[in-house]
Amino acid sequence: MTKTYRGSCHCGAVQFEADIDLATGTNKCNCSICRKRRTWNIIVKPEQFRLLSGADALTDYQFGSGSAHHLFCKHCGCAPFGKGHIPAIGGDFVGVSLASLDDIETTELAAAPVRYLDGRANNWFEEPTDKAIL
């Protein structure tokens, strides 16, 4: 079931809303940046995401192929979402950090299916052997 959630960075400079269906599955990845950030996100299409305020507060970090924009607030450092284009997952996407959602219930998070991605080995569609630490 799709539900509209509101989210923000820690200082509140960046505000957004997104139409999310948690039943489609969430993601935890072991690639170099996701592991350090302990990222837990859900992928939505750009039309399901609306930046309400704070575009000027966002800073973009890219590495590797440059296919993803790892956005974070220049004031508080939080990374509430990222975006990019990866053909293997359907093209344009927004990756919403579940920790940045202000109005999500812990019971909703606990019930959400989790996919573990082996980004460290560039084997994105397989589970890593070290998923217990993600």
- What pTM was computed for the model? 0.94
What local confidence, expressed as pLDDT, does residue 89 receive? 86
Would you kindly state where each structural domain of the chain is located, as residue ranges? 3-133
When the pLDDT of each residue in the chain is averaged and rounded to a whole number, the result is: 94
pLDDT band, residue 122 (cuts 50/70/90) = confident
Whether 18 has a pLDDT exceeding 90, the answer reads yes
CATH 2.170.150.70 fits 3-133, yes or no: yes
What local confidence, expressed as pLDDT, does residue 78 receive? 97
pLDDT digits (tens, 9 = 90+) for 21-63: 999 999 999 989 999 999 999 999 999 999 999 999 999 999 9
Q: Say how far apart CA 86 and CA 90 lie, in whole Å.
A: 7
| Element holding 91 (H helix, E strand) | strand 91-97
**Edge-to-edge strands of the sheet including 3-8?**
3-8, 15-20, 49-53
Please answer whether residues 64 and 119 qualify as being in contact, where contact means their C-beta atoms are separated by less than 8 angstroms: no
Partners of 51 in the β-ladder: 16
